[in-house]
Amino acid sequence: MKYFWLTIKKMFRFLLKPLSFVPALCVMYMIFSFSAQTADESGQLSMLVSEKVVLLLGKLTSGNLDTAQVGVYADEIHFLVRKMAHFSEYLLLGLTLSLPLYVYRLRGFWLVLAAGLFCFVDEIMGLKLALSDHRAPNISVDELIRLGSDVRTAGMIGGKPGFIVLHMGSGKKKLGPVFEALAETDIPVKTFQPTHMSRNHELYLDGLKLAKMGGYIDITCEDFVNGEPVIGHDPMPALLEEAKAADVPMDHITFSSDGQGSWSSYDEAGMLKEIGVTDVGNMYAQMCSLVTRGGFDFAEALTYFTSNVAKALEIEKKKGHIVAGADADILLIKDDLTLDTVIAGGRKMMEGGTLLVRGTYEHD
């Protein structure tokens, strides 16, 4: 009889041990539910929490805060609240995950390591891939199709725009692998968004073809020093005029600076000759150059850096436009195209040409 009850006890233990995963699974469900929120929903929720925190602190300090003050203080702690919420989710996951690990006889350092690795390697949705570049992984068309399908599906599940940013090199295949992937599947053309499309003219022509198919292409700004193009002239106006002549939808062309990213040049043998850092200020200088050197109307030049980008990223309800409910990202520019005031998310970052907010490592 004694052995019978021992057998029953072991059986119950064996059957109940998997239930130790239930708390961790519940927390994971909560995390995935938050991750599935749209950017608007997530931002509204964290801002609501920020306002509640400000109101609570106001009561504790006997401060009588009006609605405007609550909004200002909530905006200041909004970023911290979002990060703390994110950290708390994964801390709770780590704690609940420790239970089944302990039940299955994982102890001490190895328990902490296993739970930590699982919890703090964050979920990632999105992909950047080098293509037609000697530094690229040179994946096959089938692999590109698989990546496109995965990103597309992840975006649909998460309620987010899913696409692959393609770092384009000057390789002979250009956008050939993308065209093959599109021809063989029903993956939407917008899933593949190439950048550095002005690297050479043959690549640019491929980009115009992609844009006419409904895709988006991104052009890297020229390098500028004190507002002057480093190479002595600005080729971008001519490229845009060429796109217009080819009946390309111009709202499918965007500009970016590759700011603070590295640039490099190589000799014919593939040996590194030079490397440096791209100036994020190239983007504003490029916009001004389109107007002053290219003769573009300012309203049109602005779209390549604002509304077109927001449309490509599917965030046009919050970015790229000055409309009610958007994020209040505003530039005030003088007639001579001098930048006067910068407002980001409703907060003044620069006024009258004077910086009001600096980063941790920024100085005069």
- Rounded Cα distance, 232 and 106, in Å: 65
Q: Which residue has the tokens 């029953």?
A: 8
Query: Is residue 66 annotated as a catalytic residue, yes or no?
Result: no
- Rounded Cα distance, 90 and 28, in Å: 9
6: amino acid identity, one letter: L
Q: Identify the helix (H) or strand (E) that includes residue 88.
A: helix 67-103
CA nearest neighbour of 220 among 192, 258, 275, 263: 258
DSSP 159: T
- Rounded Cα distance, 178 and 155, in Å: 19
28: amino acid identity, one letter: M
125: amino acid identity, one letter: M
Q: Identify the helix (H) or strand (E) that includes residue 220.
A: strand 217-220
Q: Which two tokens stand for residue 31?
A: 């995390």
Q: Which two tokens stand for residue 122?
A: 């964050």
Q: Which residue has the tokens 């050197």?
A: 293
221: amino acid identity, one letter: C
- Catalytically annotated residue among 258, 297, 327, 340: 258
Strands 330-333 and 253-256: unpaired
Helix, strand, or coil (residue 225)? strand
Helix, strand, or coil (residue 61)? coil
Q: Rounded to whole angstroms, what are the CA distances from 110 to 98, 100, 113?
A: 11, 13, 5
- Rounded Cα distance, 36 and 162, in Å: 13
- Rounded Cα distance, 221 and 239, in Å: 12
Q: Which two tokens stand for residue 194?
A: 């190439």
- Rounded Cα distance, 178 and 167, in Å: 12
| Catalytic sites, residue numbers | 258
